Amino acid sequence: MIASLRTPRGLVTALLLLVLAVLPLLTQAFDQRYLLSIGTRIVIWAIAAISLNMILGYGGLVSFGHAVFFGIGGYAVGILSHHGVQSGSVQWPVGIVAAALWAALIGALSLRTRGLYFIMITLAFAQLVYYVSAGLEAYGADDGLNISRSRFPGLIDLRDKASFYWLCFALLGGTLWFCSRFAISRFGLVIRGAKSNDLRMTALGFPVFRYRLAAFTLSGAFGGLAGILLANEGAYISPAMMSWVKSGDLIVIVVLGGMGTLFGPLYGTIAFFVLEESLPPLLDLGRKGWGEYWQIVFGPMLVLIALYAKGGIDSLFGRRHG
Amino acid sequence: MDYLLLQVLNGVQLGLLMFLLAAGLTLTFGIMDLVNLAHGSLYMMGAYIAWTLIGWTDSFMLGALLALPATFLLGVAVEALVMRRLYARDHLDQVLATFGLILFFNELVRAVWGPAGKSIAVPGFLARTVEILPGVPYPAYRFAIIVAGAAVAALLAWLVARTRLGMLIRAGASNRRMIGALGVNIELLFTLVFGLGAVFAGLAGLMAAPLSSVKIGMGDDILIVAFVIIVIGGIGSIKGAFVAAMVVGQIDIVGRAFLPDFLKTFLSTSAASSAAPAISQVLIYIVMAGVLVWRPTGLFGQRS
Amino acid sequence: MNGKLLGAATIAALVVGLQPASAQAPIKIGFISTFSGPQAAIGEDMRRSVELAKEHLGGKMGGKPFEIVYEDDQFKPDVGKQKSEKLVQQDKVNVVAGYIWSNVLLASLKTVTDEGDTILISANAGPSQIAGELCNKNFFSTSWQNDQTPMAMGEYLNTKGVKSLYLMGPNYAAGKDMLAGVRRTYKGKLIGEDFTKWPDQLDFSAELAKIAAAKPEGIFIFYPGAHGVQFVKQWAQSGLNKTVPLYQVFSIDAITLPQQGELALGTLGAQEWVNDLPNEQNKRYVADFKKKHGVYPSYYGAQSYDAIMLIASAAEALKGDLSSKDKVRAELKKANFKSLRGGFKYNTNNFPIENFYIQETVKDPQGVMTVKTIATAVKDAKDSYYEKCPMK
């Protein structure tokens, strides 16, 4: 799965995974509780980024509404919790299935379109869900809703930050494993082939639309999982979870990390969060007060990456072997 | 009846503002095949530049008029520095780069004009009401927006139908490669079109400012509605953008003026007030989906 | 290639890791308010008042120096919640204060008071839930409960004989509380009620047209800050200012008046603090604020000043040692400080029991727009939710 530890890519990735695996112990030792919260969010966003990578990175489908799955997973948990259904073993499957169903629905409609229209229609469907949740008075509308965390009696207490983190980390591992299988499976190869040339794939006899729809649905399911975790992380849901800016952030993360690579989304997520936390103090070092305007640097960085560094962080490790 | 007329006029006013924003967007999409997420930033810059100029000249009209060429120059600069390099790229690159531009512009505005936002006052001579019909007062400023917006729309229609530039625009929207082959200076055309779009966006921004506020990110959410409008109208079609903008304006007003009262008959007041604006937004997206099912390239879009 | 990456990663890790160690020496107070966007003026007024309090205290509480960490909620509940978490977990503040907006406060409450077990002092927002079932021993208010101010206005409108009223407010937690408050005490006819989209809707033309058609004897509004500026302007522009008087809470104040100007003359509002309250500390506060900043302070500022003074009183009693949270809470509850309102005492749910006054918008002798107390609406008012609070 991982490239040999002798390659730079393999070494760095293994190190990252190791640090992530023991993060709660590290933050405990250095009394940096806040870093564990950030770490948890990184892991959750990485899961969402991997799910987007499946269709964007491997499939070339520019879906601009992926944050909607954060919202569907999160609201499924939140609404059920609000109505007294606290059990995670009920909430979580409902959330994942709801996200998958929505993905299947909008996939069926959107995948018939191409280019600009596809981007717009995925964005529009995300906005639709956003506005529906912003209109639901009963669940807080724009103000959002405080919820209790999912209960898994006897198994795990999600209120314990370390336990919750490890659960997220384990799920990240599972998602990575799934993605690695996907990438080399026949299914994945069809998706990847269709990215380069879908006419050719169709000529070869593959029903490209159906394959893409399936990939879209899976991608939505994992996105929903990330949403469920996000809702539990903050014990709070709000329409802001699925704002289109977040969808844009996810695209940035996937490209930044390296599209169509296994660990690219992870690199991208870490880089994104690290940049967000470290650019301000770095700029402040240059001159006090500049740190506030870090996006003046980050914005053009994105432009440059789009123009000159499409390979992302993964490409920094040099060519892949095999 | 009067109330209905007032609300329809409000819808027309909103629709015209949205048309101004959407017109530039549909042109850059149609002719340059460019996804420009930063179009909302041009809307915002128009308002901020106008605020500064109005402050310097101490006159709304003068400041607003001067803001137009300023926004044009800004558009040209953005085109030359960034957009030009994106024409040949795929849509993902364009999304990424223009997303980065949004962040940059928002932060730039914060650095130059401060985080608090600004306000532009309705000019004195328009801070009153006009009688549309005897006994029916309507805010003069909004009426001025309708007049100005309609005038610009007419000007654009004339431009597109009767001038050489307009002909090139229409040709470019149908078949980009052909106009290059015909020996037209493509670079200049693209720069002009982008600049024109920037002026319209900036004009919409500065006209909208006295009704709401001049703040960081003011164009970002309204941009999405502009995208929906051009998808409904058909990418590349000015006429489509106009029709779609008018429809969207009316849907929005219905949602704000009539829907709450209707919903209050079976929902609590605050639940009705939460649901109403959401429903009208959702309606806009449903209309878009419906149009795309019926006509995949929009109402007046080119069948490719 | 990977050398560069490793270098960048090291720098990033160092920078992220270089967080200040938990404050042993100075007392740290976190302050959350809105410092960007159209409502930034309110945050600025609060910050100025907090800094003035610091100045008046000589930078020390109970003998220990103290510092304020300001964070911007950007007017959004989810951002406010995140920043609250940062203040509690990363900056490790002793107290979190501020909170203009009820929705931001509600989103952030548990993060501070439960997960963070940190004291939260609201210097403005007063949602009914926190006065009632969500009441919390870690929560203290130096403002009011949202319903109270409009209730006072409702009482006053009864005495004034206003027979019919149209209500308007924004559709979020505070807006709902405010309109509910008027409905609770006003005995005349409620002709209509409109909630507008918060915070996006700054265009009230549709609703004003409805009001013109309904012809009430008065409009009651709650539109804080920038929204109040827009509303008053549009109310005047539509011509309604000549036919329907405006009664308001939190919509016309020292922050909005510079922009509303003479359009607001003669309007009536209710409030628990006015700049002309005749006690020593208030006179000093208003005079010093005016001298420093050239404008009158608002109640947002006054409430923030009181919050700092409240914390200082606890620090005084504990000689600067805030390590025992139980002791701090006990001292805060005693509220043994000189409030800008005069007297100050807490109800069982940690909301103040206080007077409410009616103000009229006037021009001061120098021609500056301000508000002046014309009546006391209610005395020693308690909110309507304290009985739902389990704390006794």
Residues of C in contact with B128 (CB under 8 A): 237, 239
Instruction: Pick from C44, C128, C195 the residue to mutate for testing the B interface (most B CBs within 10 Å).
Output: C195
Of the candidates C12, C173, C198, the beta carbon closest to that of A278 is on C12
* The pLDDT value given to residue C10: 52
- In angstroms, the separation between the Cα of residue C66 and the nearest Cα of chain B is 27
Nearest by CB to A124, which of B33, B89, B228?
A: B228
A135 touches chain C (CB under 8 A): no
In one letter, which amino acid is C264?
A
Over residues B170-183, the mean pLDDT reads: 75
Q: Which residue of B has its CA nearest to A248?
A: B99
Which whole number is the average pLDDT over B202-231?
A: 91
pLDDT grade for B303, boundaries at 50, 70 and 90: low
ipTM of the complex: 0.88
- pLDDT of C23 higher than 80: no
A261 vs A321, residue with greater confidence: A261
To the nearest whole Å, the CA of B274 is away from the closest chain C CA by: 7
Q: Which of A146, A158, A149 is nearest to A238 (CA)?
A: A146
pLDDT averaged over chain B? 88
pLDDT value at residue B161:
87
Structure tokens at B252: 């929005």
CB contact under 8 A, A317 and C103: no
pLDDT value, residue C239: 83
Task: Identify the top-confidence range among B34-48, B80-94, B176-190, C19-33.
Answer: B34-48
pLDDT tens readout for residues A171-221: 999 999 999 999 999 899 999 999 888 888 888 888 899 999 999 999 999
Interface test with A, best of B34, B251, B282 (most A CBs within 10 A): B282
pLDDT above 90 covers a percentage of chain C that reads 79
* C90 min Cα distance to partner chain A (Å): 5
Percent of chain B having pLDDT more than 70?
98
pLDDT at B128: 80
- Please tell me which of the candidates C40, C201, C205 has its beta carbon nearest to residue B142: C205
Highest mean pLDDT among A46-50, A118-122, B226-230: A46-50
Lowest mean pLDDT among B155-159, B170-174, B251-255: B170-174
C304-313 pLDDT, tens per residue? 999 999 999 9
Substitution target from C36, C48, C240, C257 for chain B, most B beta carbons within 10 A: C36
The chain-wide mean pLDDT, for chain A, equals 90
Give residue-wise pLDDT tens across range C155-196.
999 999 999 999 999 988 899 999 999 999 999 999 999 888
Inspect the interface and report whether the beta carbons of A135 and B91 lie closer than 8 Å. no
Look at residue C381 in the predicted model and tell me its pLDDT.
93
pLDDT digits (tens, 9 = 90+) for C264-290: 999 999 999 999 999 999 999 999 999
In this complex, do C197 and B117 lie within 8 Å of one another by their Cβ atoms?
Answer: no
- Residue C63 CB: number of other CB atoms within 10 A? 10
> pLDDT tens, B61-86?
999 999 999 999 999 999 999 999 99
Which of B7, B141, B212 is closest, CB to CB, to C209?
A: B7
pLDDT band at A3 (very low <50, low <70, confident <90, very high): low
Asked whether the beta carbons of residue B96 and residue A302 sit closer than 8 angstroms, the reply is yes
- The CA angle C115-A227-C117, to the nearest 5 degrees, is 5
Name the residue among C206, C229, C237 with its Cβ closest to that of B129: C237
Chain position carrying tokens 């604020």: C289
* More confident of the two residues A51 and B215: A51
Residues within 8 A of C (CB atoms), A 152-191 only: none
Could you write out the DSSP letters of every residue in chain B?
-HHHHHHHHHHHHHHHHHHHHHHHHHHHHHHH----TTHHHHHHHHHHHHHHHHHHHT-HHHHHHHHHHHHHHHHHHHHHHTGGGGTTS-HHHHHHHHHHHHHHHHHHHHHHH-TT-B--PPPGGGSSEEEEETTEEEEHHHHHHHHHHHHHHHHHHHHHHHSHHHHHHHHHHH-HHHHHHTT--HHHHHHHHHHHHHHHHHHHHHHHGGGS-B-TTTTHHHHHHHHHHHHHH-TT-HHHHHHHHHHHHHHHHIIIIIHHHHHHTTS-HHHHHHHHHHHHHHHHHHHHHHHHHH-TT-SSPPP-
Indicate yes or no: CB of B96 within 8 angstroms of CB of A305: yes
Q: Do C77 and A30 touch (CB under 8 A)?
A: no
pLDDT given at position A32? 84
Least confident among A111-120, C107-116, C121-130, C210-219 = A111-120
